[in-house]
Copies of this chain bind each other. A is one copy, B any other.
Amino acid sequence: MGRHFLQIPGPTNVPDRVLRAIAQPTIDHRGPAFARLATELLERLKDVFQTRHHVIVYPSSGTGAWEAALVNTLSPGDRVLAFETGHFSTLWCDMATRLGLVVDLVPGDWRHGADPDAIADLLTAGHAAVMVVHNETSTGVRSRIPEIRAAIDRTGHPALLLVDTISSLGSMVYRHDEWGVDVTVGCSQKGLMLPPGIGFNAVSPKALAHRGRLPRSYWDWEPIIAANRQGFFPYTPPTNLLYGLRAALDLLAEEGLAAVFARHDRHAEATRRAVRAWGLEVLCADEREHSSSLTAVLMPDGHDADEVRRLILERYDMSLGTGLGRLAGRVFRIGHLGHFNDLMLAGTLSGVEMGLSGAGVPIKDGGVRAALAYLEEAG
């Protein structure tokens, strides 16, 4: 009884308004009402990505949008430079390899973002693109995209910059145009507060001009952009999720993107204060790189994060994120993004506090209290 607390770093708690919106009857995707809807959404999405250029909408998961970014811009055998910032950066590289690209993966400790200072040394003539995950969903570490772009620019290298913003879009500051990103990869079920089922590519003019030769059809930007001019799609679009997208964009606009980002920053800081008050360690090791949409918490040795998660799910009906890949069992992740507010955070941290205690993890008192104190002070 009572509401489930869905505090994984996505899918996030979907607002009632969005759920009701997606329950509207499906309409003719070739008719005038649909064209008006699509035209409005394609325009309004630009604001979320902070771009004046085109945003592509796919019926897909975020991984589909990863694939789209690669097959539209690259050719078989192309070399790409990538950074091992965590599980998802690794998966994206695996995908690139499977699609026939050659990946130079800069190793990492999963506690830091991509290193801008390493770019000059690593980027060579053979690289066609640089792939970076803006906000590593597996670690809660943010990479500093503007500094990476600046580092690439200092080398004078023409490499495309491909950025995954899956768990930061709509939650953390992101500026596709200003930051010089060529392809931004996003999806629906995180900061946009929608159910899963839509993938996005924001595309720079340079990326559009630079078409690769990897085989593509479903993901091909060109027929989509052509059809979008009339408000249509070359495939049957996910109409009901688009209804939800309209509602979600309304919600973001009503709060204001700047206020949305400030809210996420504040909740993230409150969460970190709770973690530290418990005497636990936040996974992210660089103060400049904390994620504002999720926090990964390191377990003391000898304690299994998944035991804590299981207890919290059973006893307090809250879902937390598991440790992925090499972090399995060693961290749990708290999602504090999307449709979220102070009292939901208070409930979330209370559940974590009781869960840690109930699972016998040695923590100090005062985590929730530290968070509440910060929320009050930074009201």
Report which A residues bind B (CB closer than 8 A): 1-6, 8, 10-16, 19-20, 22-32, 59-64, 66-67, 76, 94-95, 98-100, 187, 189, 195-197, 214-218, 220, 234-241, 251, 255, 260, 263, 313, 315-319, 322, 339-344, 346-348, 350-351, 353-354, 357-358, 365-366, 368-369, 372, 375-376, 379
Contact = CB atoms under 8 A, between A and B. Distances in A.
Contacts of A4: 25, 27
A340 B347 CA distance: 12
A241 B197 contact: yes
Given A344-B347, A354-B372, A339 B197 contact: no
B316 A2 contact: no
Contact of A1 (B236, B251, B348, B357): B251
A355 to B, nearest CB: 9
A20 B20 contact: yes
Contacts of A251: 1
A50 B85 CA distance: 45
A36 to B, nearest CB: 14
A100 B215 CA distance: 7
Contact of A63 (B218, B263, B317, B350): B218
A192 to B, nearest CB: 12
